[in-house]
Amino acid sequence: MKLNFFSTKRAAPAFGDLMNHPNAMYLAEQLERNKSLILELKQLTQQLTQQEIKGWRQANQMALSHDNPNRFRLYGLYYDAMLDDHLLGAIRNRKLKTMRRTFKVVDAKGNINHDLTELLQMKWFKLFMSYSLDSIFYGYSLIQFGEIDRKEKPKFVTMKVVPRAHVVPEYSVIKREVSDEPIKGIDYTKPPYSLWCIGVGDTDDLGLLLPTSRDTISKKYALQFWDQFAEIFGMPIRIGKSSSRNKKDTDKIEQMLDGMGAASWGLFPEGTEIEIKETTRGDAFNVYDKRIDRANTEMSKAILGQTMTMDDGSSKSQAQVHESVSDEIGEADGDMVKDVVNDDLWPFLLQHGWPIQNHRFEWDDTHEYTATEMREIEGMLLQYYEIEPEYFNERYDIPIVGIRQQQAFGNLELVKKKS
């Protein structure tokens, strides 16, 4: 039996009319009073400055401070690190392992409730899973929910992560100014904020971007130096010589040299000697290329636990081992998301009227058969059992009206001959 979802006229009793909810008046009043935490904060624009290892160590030390932990500089480093293509791809690959899994809502006996499962197959829940997985990389994340739309199926209209630099999870407060001390912060574990926020992750966790952001700093320097190397030694240098002392003549020659292309050029008096010392090694580029490769592999190890699912491998057996490691990490991430949903999101939804009592969230690990496997199974079943035509109508969207008469007569003649 399907649940009667909220309509535009009247909320269905199955979902608990908001006005009949035990905390209805309080929730409605707090919703009106609740101002977005994000709007209250005076956010500071992240400056795209060149980061150095020294700055990384200082930012890490500031975040680890016991009396006044401050993560603003550290998250500035994280922002720069996420501009790295390799790191971004590794994080995306790891998140997809969990985001692509199918899930189900089951009762105490383990039976699937398809109607409640449909309630979670919406944009807001996918966003919640994505934000929860982000806590693995950024550290503790405070997720703020917006207004609830109850017209049809209940859903949250908006959802955002409270700017992490303003959150001090060690003290469970939010700072309006990133430079404020925790004692001036707002306690988000108390109403009205606790009614609309869920914290995900350990309060003292700084995330996997802490070690990987250090690798991106070295990688950026290697790329910059390689560009300079290519600019100096990768393109020819044009040299102009002139014996004229007239400034107009030299200006005209300079304009001509400048307009001949992007390569370096110089104008020198006759008799000037120019000597460019290049390394005698023919593989000088490897100094930069190998450093970039090493940075990429170190980031892959930190995020994915291995390297070969993103880079070329040397053998099939090694690739299988690395893929197995990746699967184990994906299973661990899935367990983390399941715990967050059941332990934190479930009570939150119950508080806001979702009809999920005595149910829990589970991953649906039912084996997905290929098209070839399904045809073999269906052929075997048809050989021994009678199957309702509706099965094939729904599966293949082909209207089946009955058995072909010719086939039926053919089978009848065959029976007569045997008899």
Question: What pLDDT does residue 339 have?
Answer: 97
- Judge whether residue 159 has pLDDT over 90: yes
- Judge whether residue 132 has pLDDT over 50: yes
Which carries the bigger pLDDT value, residue 403 or residue 167? 167
- Judge whether residue 72 has pLDDT over 50: yes
Question: What pLDDT does residue 54 have?
Answer: 83
- Tens-digit pLDDT profile for residues 40-71: 555 544 444 355 788 899 999 999 999 999 99
Say if CB 113 and CB 105 are below 8 A apart: yes
Q: How many CB atoms lie within 10 A of CB 19?
A: 9
Mean pLDDT to the nearest integer, 31-37: 49
Question: What pLDDT does residue 181 have?
Answer: 93
- Tens-digit pLDDT profile for residues 210-263: 999 999 988 888 888 777 777 666 666 655 566 666 666 666 666 665 655 555
Buried-state track 241-268, b at ≥16 Cβ within 10 A, e below 16: eeeeeeeeeeeebeeebeeeeeeebebe
Question: What pLDDT does residue 45 have?
Answer: 42
Mean pLDDT to the nearest integer, 90-107: 94
Per-domain boundaries in the chain: 13-211+327-363, 238-275, 371-418
- Judge whether residue 129 has pLDDT over 70: yes
3-state secondary structure 214-233: HHHHHHHHHHHHHHHHHHHH
Q: Assign 105 to helix, strand or coil.
A: strand
Amino acid at 353: G
State both tokens at 252.
């005209």
Indicate the pLDDT class of residue 206, thresholds 50, 70 and 90: very high
- Judge whether residue 82 has pLDDT over 90: yes
Question: What pLDDT does residue 305 have?
Answer: 87
Question: What pLDDT does residue 342 have?
Answer: 97
Task: Give phi and psi for 332, each to the nearest 5.
Answer: -65, -40
- Judge whether residue 38 has pLDDT over 80: no
Question: What pLDDT does residue 341 have?
Answer: 97
Q: Give the residue ranges of DSSP H helices in 190-273.
A: 209-233, 247-258
Q: What is the pTM of this model?
A: 0.72
Question: What pLDDT does residue 230 have?
Answer: 73
- Tens-digit pLDDT profile for residues 349-402: 999 989 999 999 999 987 666 778 778 887 888 888 888 877 777 777 777 777
Burial of 394 (0-12, 13-18, 19+ CB in 10 A): exposed
Rounded to the nearest integer, the mean pLDDT of the chain is 78
Question: What pLDDT does residue 409 have?
Answer: 46
State both tokens at 21.
């909810």
